[in-house]
């Protein structure tokens, strides 16, 4: 049976070129700083993002956690969006492991924060209050439809943060999708942030890993936290080799994923029982509402027919990626259309 896996861009497998690079990677013990392939990836990532230094971590969650622990101390709080991945989907790590509290303000429909609300959320210097130690943005914004923040958006929030001497962190799990969609160098998107996490393991098709970038001083302090949470590894060059291939050759092609997402969104908009706004979905995340039928049953039926995705909730997310072609999109649309016609009639 044909399988079209639309659950996430994390299901991507390493490309043949990555597997070759992994097999041939020169490696060493990274805890001694001696893995040449990893050192190359970290330098490459930092250069691409316009930062002084980079540090490989096991996941985006680990990158955000280590960044937060580096910026904030016990008792501090951080300001972030109420739909942010750090707040909703990282198991409360900063509070559980760092004693840091989350001060959320509303994300608008494109994942942006209101600068006045950010400013109002910053705690005055008073013994009663926690210290505000970090402000975080997310680009692209996962729960807000893969929406992108422009350099101007980011600067607006950075200006507030920096006026109060607070560092800005960008959860850029899919920052390269934003860069490709906006046709803007990724360094422009992150230039006003003190730290950034991006994932290699999503649309870039690397099997494992993320990179945190920032100043030399920040990364030096972050390495201790990374060690503490168990994130320093050994012959990491085996994985880093795939990351180098990704940064060299897998970034620009994500425009195809965005085109396929658009094709998918426009097709879904034609299916009775589905509510979607294709114009609000600029990258590879396709969110929509299942308005009729039992979503759990519909998801089960499309999965049985090889289209992986959907959920028991009414809000579904399909994701395009390196493993999905335009023909896969058309096949998925056929499956969804006929399933909805049968199981979600008007």
Ligand X SMILES: *Cc1c(COP(=O)(O)O)cnc(C)c1O
List contacts with ligand X (CB under 6 A).
59-61, 64, 85, 138, 142, 171, 173, 199, 201, 210
End-to-end Cα spacing for the chain: 29
* Calpha distance 282→121 (Å, rounded): 30
Min dist. Cβ of residue 313 to ligand X (A): 18
- Taking the complex as a whole, the smallest distance from the CB of residue 84 to ligand X amounts, in Å, to 7
* Complex with ligand X: residue 175 or 329, whichever CB lies closer: 175
Between 257 and 271, whose beta carbon lies closer to ligand X? Answer: 257
Q: CB nearer to ligand X: give 171 or 257.
A: 171
CA angle 299, 301, 306 (to 5 degrees): 90
Q: CA 190, 196, 200, 203 torsion: positive or negative?
A: negative
Nearer to ligand X, 61 or 205 (CB): 61
Phi, psi dihedral angles at 188 (to 5 degrees): -70, -35
Phi, psi of 25 (to 5 degrees): -60, 135
Cβ neighbours, 10 Å, residue 302:
23
Q: How many C-beta atoms surround the C-beta of residue 243 within 10 A? A: 32
The minimum distance between CB 230 and ligand X, in angstroms, equals 14
* Residue placing its CB nearer to ligand X in the complex, 199 or 264: 199
Q: What are the beta bridge partners of residue 214? A: 53, 195
């Amino acid at each position: 049976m044909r399988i079209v896996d639309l659950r996430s861009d994390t299901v991507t497998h390493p490309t043949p070129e990555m597997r070759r690079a992994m097999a041939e990677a020169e490696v060493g013990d990274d805890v001694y700083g001696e893995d040449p392939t990893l050192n190359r990836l970290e330098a490459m990532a930092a250069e691409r993002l316009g930062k002084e230094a980079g540090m490989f971590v096991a996941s985006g969650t680990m990158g955000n956690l280590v960044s937060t622990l580096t910026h904030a101390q016990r008792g501090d709080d951080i300001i972030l969006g109420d739909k942010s991945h750090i707040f909703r989907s990282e198991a409360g790590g900063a509070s559980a492991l760092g004693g840091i509290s989350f001060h959320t303000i509303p994300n608008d429909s494109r994942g942006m924060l209101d600068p006045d609300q950010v400013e109002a959320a910053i705690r005055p210097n008073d013994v009663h209050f926690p210290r505000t130690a970090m402000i975080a943005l997310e680009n692209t914004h996962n729960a807000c439809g893969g929406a992108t923040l422009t350099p101007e958006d980011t600067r607006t929030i950075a200006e507030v943060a920096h006026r109060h001497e607070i560092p800005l962190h960008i959860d850029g799990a899919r920052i390269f999708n934003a860069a490709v969609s906006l046709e803007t160098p990724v360094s422009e998107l992150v230039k006003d942030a003190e730290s950034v996490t991006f994932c290699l393991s999503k649309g870039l098709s690397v099997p494992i890993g993320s990179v945190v970038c920032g100043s030399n001083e920040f990364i030096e302090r972050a390495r201790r936290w990374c060690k503490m949470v168990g994130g320093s590894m050994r012959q990491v060059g085996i994985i880093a080799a795939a990351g180098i291939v990704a940064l060299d050759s897998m970034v620009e092609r994500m425009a195809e994923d965005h085109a396929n997402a658009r094709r998918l969104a426009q097709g879904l908009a034609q299916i009775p029982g589905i509510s979607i706004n294709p114009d609000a979905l600029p990258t590879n995340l396709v969110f929509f509402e299942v308005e009729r039928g039992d979503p759990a049953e519909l998801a089960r039926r499309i999965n049985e027919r090889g289209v992986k995705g959907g959920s028991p909730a009414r809000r579904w997310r399909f994701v395009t990626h390196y493993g999905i072609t335009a023909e896969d999109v058309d096949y998925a649309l056929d499956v969804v259309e006929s399933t909805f016609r049968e199981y979600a009639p008007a």
